[in-house]
Amino acid sequence: MIIKTHISYGYHDLLKIFFNANNLEVVIGEREDNNAASNQVDLMYEDDSDTSYNITFMSVKHLGLENMLCDYLIRCGILPSRISIGKMNIKRDMAELDKKWEEHRKAIGIAR
């Protein structure tokens, strides 16, 4: 079974954790989508397996597999508007980066 989702491939690590925690043998693939801002996730698992039955049960309980995965990502702190786009930006302190750059320049002999 192959399921094409609208979840960004940038969250495949979190999805892998989810599947491992629920003992689901799901292979996460990457799919290029010209209509999306980033590559999307394909989920692959075998028909007539324990994984298949467990995913079916969980999907009925949570009103769909993709809905369940989106709820999980939201609980992990991902904004709903970022699920199909990709990872969130990391906030960085520019003053600290400038300080590290100056130290590095001194270390390699470019600055005094």
Average pLDDT, the chain: 89
Indicate whether 61 belongs to any domain.
yes
Indicate whether 45 belongs to any domain.
yes
Q: Residue 71: give the domain boundaries.
A: 2-87
Indicate whether 25 belongs to any domain.
yes
pLDDT value at position 90?
58
Contact 6, 81 (CB under 8 A): no
Indicate whether 106 belongs to any domain.
no
Average pLDDT over residues 74-78: 91
Indicate whether 11 belongs to any domain.
yes
Total number of domains constituting the chain: 1
pLDDT value at position 42?
94
Contact 6, 38 (CB under 8 A): no
What is the residue-wise DSSP string for 29-64?
EEE--TTSSS-EEEEE--TTSHHHHHHHHHHHHTTS
Average pLDDT over residues 68-85: 91
Average pLDDT over residues 90-100: 81
Indicate whether 56 belongs to any domain.
yes
